[in-house]
Amino acid sequence: MRNLRLIARLDVKMNWLIKGVQMEGWRKVGDPADFARRYASEGADELLFMDVVASLYERNNLHDMVQKVASEIFIPLTVGGGVRSTEDAGALLSRGADKVAINTAATRDPAIVTAISDRFGAQATVVSIEAIRRGPGQWEAMTDNGRNKTGLDVLEWAGEVERRGAGEIILTSIDTEGTGKGYDLELVKAVSSRVTIPVVACGGLGDSGHLAELVGQTEASAAATAQALHWGKLTLGDLRQTLAEEGCFVRPLPTDAA
C-alpha cells in the first residue's frame, strides 16, 4: 500500500503566516503557531515552515516559533530559510526541528549539503528546489523565493544533491505555486525518475482531484499544500479521504479510534 504524506506548508514573514501567488503578492493569513496546531490536530503528517525573508536578513528568524510549536505537537517539522552552515542547521534541530531545508546556500556551495548530511544524517538534510519552466521538459532552479536565477538545470541539480547526501527534496513549481490549478505533474515525474530519495511535490493543489492526479501519475512521496488549507478551500479531512479512495495508507488519528 502506498504511503503518500500530507504536509502543511507555512510560509512565515516576521511572525506572520503569509501566502502569495507564484511567490509574489504576499498576504497576511494569521498566527503560524495557531495554524500549525490546527493542521497537526486535523491530520497533517508533517509541517513545513519556511522563513521567506531569511535571505534578506541573512538568518532564520523562526527559532522561538519552532521551539514553541515543537513542544506542543508531535509530528515531524521541517524548517527552511537562511540555513547557511552546519551551525545554522544545528540551531534549528536543537530547538525541535526534525529536518532542515536548504536552497540558496546549497546552490552557492553544494558542499554544505554533504556537511549537514555528514553531521546530522541524510534524514535531517532536505534540499528545497524552486523550479521555473524554461521550455519543454526544462526547468531552472531559482533562489530567494523565485527571485534569483542560478543557471542550474533542475534535473541535474536534483541528481547532484542526492549524490551529496540529501535525504529528501522539496520540489516547488513557481509556475503553479499559489494558483490552485494543480501540480506541475511533468516536473514531479521528471525529478522523481531522476532520484531515489523522497520528493515532496509543492505548488498548485487546489482541489482533491489534483491530489488524486499526483497519486496516480507520479512517484511523489509527499504532497505539500498551503493556499487551499489556509483559505479553507480544502481540509485535511478532504485530502485524507482522497488518499483513502486512491488506495493509500492514511495514518489513524486518535479521534478515529474513539
DSSP 41-68: HHT-SEEEEEETTHHHHTS---HHHHHH
pTM to 2 decimals?
0.93
| Residues known to be catalytic | 11, 130
Q: Tens digits of per-residue pLDDT, 102-113?
A: 999 999 999 999
Among 20, 30, 85, residue whose Cα is nearest residue 53:
20
The pLDDT value given to residue 52: 82
> Residue 225's beta-bridge partner residues?
8
In this predicted structure, the answer to whether residue 195 has a pLDDT above a threshold of 50 is yes
Query: Residue 34: its pLDDT value, please?
Result: 92
Q: Which residue has the cell 529528501?
A: 168
Helix axes 86-94, 63-70, angle to 10 degrees: 40
Residue 257 has pLDDT above 70, yes or no: no
Q: What pLDDT score does 10 carry?
A: 93
Average pLDDT over residues 229-246: 94
Whole-number Å distance between alpha carbons of 202 and 189:
13
246, 247, 252, 257 alpha-carbon torsion, rounded to 10°: 100
Q: 184 near 198, Cβ under 8 Å?
A: no
pLDDT digits (tens, 9 = 90+) for 12-48: 987 888 765 544 455 677 889 999 999 999 999 999 9
